[in-house]
Amino acid sequence: MRTGLVLDRRYEAHETGPGHPERPERIRAIRELMREYRRAGLVDVEPRLATDAELASNHAPAHVARVAATAAHARAAFDADTPVCSASYATAALAAGGYLRLLEAILAGDVDNGFAFVRPPGHHAEPDRAMGFCLFNNVAIGARWLRLRGVGRILIVDWDVHHGNGTQESFWDDPDTLYVSTHQYPFYPGTGAASEVGSRTAAGRTLNVPLPAGCGDDEYVAAFTDLIAPVAGQFRPEFVLVSAGFDADYRDPLAGMQATEAGFRAMTRVLMRLAEAHAGGRVAAILEGGYDLDALRAAVPAVLDELAGTGLRDALPSASPRSQVLAPARAAHKPFWEIPE
Ligand SMILES: [Zn+2]
């Protein structure tokens, strides 16, 4: 498989101040890692700036204008978690635009799949609000862009340890976008209960899998193989987008989960199979959270290995006895999907 990579030092220009976990070193660590990680089929994809019209495909024009206005200030903040500097607007536009370039390369057949290593992240950004380290919702802007190019059913899988409230809100009413999130719950930002399943016209198109603190690879693998794969298989996505945070890793300083690189590998393998079966193999991952640099150094190569397709014929790790933690999500979605017992 040819895998497109978006990775650029300009993503380090968004400064969040001393002690902030969402820091430029995250991208620097991945750039250093990629000097060592080499395999056939990796293709560099040059990012570009998203236009204001592209940003406004998912955001209120007033929100785009508010973020743009911060370029005139050395320091500003949208909330206590979300500081910006004069370079933040341009960096955020390059994050969204980098993802669009990756999607373009996949649609054109230049690459089969890919990963955009960008910051700032996006999944907490709501249509009219920046929050939780996020200014523009990169994955949502990507889905809007694909829709304009004729892609019908789009699957967005968000395995970041936090619930992607912004992405959920963007597609709450959209029956052609299946938004799936696994996340620690209860936890920031407070949304993501199993009972949040989408609006009446899109019921079942939001699949929240809330997990208690302390869950690890077993629970994640069970969620992906026993629940997410059957539901997404019935949805038959034409394109698979992944909000790939690495803050469910056991080393992460913000969250309380126990996932390892083996778990991230298994989740990617499940999605690769789904994409092979329904979406012509089209998978586009984008970096969300993940604040421990050693966790990034371990999990990013595991995901890239799987994007190479080498694991497609290997067995999936079997989840140990099905965990009861999936019961609320199963029950909430029984009315909408066939879910194997
Ligand atoms: Zn997160």
- CATH code: domain of residue 105: 3.40.800.20
| pLDDT reported for residue 291 | 98
In the chain, the number of structural domains is 1
Distance 290 CA to ligand 1 centre (A): 6
Whether residue 65 is contained in a domain is answered as: yes
DSSP state, 50?
P
* CA–CA gap between residue 169 and residue 163 (Å, rounded): 11
Distance 292 CA to ligand 1 centre (A): 12
Rg (CA), the chain: 18
Whether residue 340 is contained in a domain is answered as: no
Whether residue 256 is contained in a domain is answered as: yes
Nearest Cα residue to 97 out of 41, 57, 153, 156: 57
Distance 293 CA to ligand 1 centre (A): 14
Q: Among positive and negative, which fits the CA dihedral 103, 63, 79, 192? A: negative
pTM for the model: 0.98
Whether residue 338 is contained in a domain is answered as: no
Percent of the chain with pLDDT over 90: 94
Distance 108 CA to ligand 1 centre (A): 31
197-238 pLDDT tens trace: 999 999 999 999 999 999 999 999 999 999 999 999 999 999
Is 14 in contact with 92 (CB distance < 8 Å)?
yes
Distance 135 CA to ligand 1 centre (A): 14
Whether residue 135 is contained in a domain is answered as: yes
Whether residue 40 is contained in a domain is answered as: yes
Distance 62 CA to ligand 1 centre (A): 26
247-299 pLDDT tens trace: 999 999 999 999 999 999 999 999 999 999 999 999 999 999 999 999 999 99
The kind and range of the H/E element at 94 are helix 88-107
Instruction: Tell me the residues surrounding ligand 1 (ion) with CB < 5 Å.
Output: 160, 162, 245, 247, 289
Q: Say whether pLDDT at 74 is over 80.
A: yes
Whether residue 339 is contained in a domain is answered as: no
Q: Any bridge partners for residue 6, and if so which?
A: 116
Residue type, 172: W
Residue 195 in tokens = 């009972």
What domain range includes position 120? 3-333
Q: Say whether pLDDT at 308 is over 70.
A: yes
Is 181 in contact with 163 (CB distance < 8 Å)?
yes
Whether residue 184 is contained in a domain is answered as: yes
Distance 291 CA to ligand 1 centre (A): 9
Q: In this structure, how many other beta carbons lie within 10 angstroms of the beta carbon of residue 250?
A: 15
Q: Say whether pLDDT at 146 is over 70.
A: yes
**Average pLDDT value for the chain:** 97
95-137 pLDDT tens trace: 999 999 999 999 999 999 999 999 999 999 999 999 999 999 9
Nearest Cα residue to 87 out of 61, 63, 68: 68
Q: How confident is the model at residue 38 (pLDDT cuts 50, 70, 90)?
A: confident
The kind and range of the H/E element at 180 are strand 177-184
* CA–CA gap between residue 127 and residue 130 (Å, rounded): 8
The reply to whether 333 belongs to the active site is: no
| pLDDT reported for residue 317 | 73
Distance 198 CA to ligand 1 centre (A): 21
Catalytic pick among 14, 124, 163, 278:
124
Percent of the chain with pLDDT over 70: 99
Is 56 in contact with 170 (CB distance < 8 Å)?
no
Distance 248 CA to ligand 1 centre (A): 8
Is 102 in contact with 284 (CB distance < 8 Å)?
yes
Q: How confident is the model at residue 312 (pLDDT cuts 50, 70, 90)?
A: confident
Phi, psi of 174 (to 5 degrees): -105, 105
Helix (H), strand (E), coil (C) string for 238-277: CEEEEEECCCCECCCCCCCCEECHHHHHHHHHHHHHHHHH
Distance 160 CA to ligand 1 centre (A): 5
Distance 289 CA to ligand 1 centre (A): 4
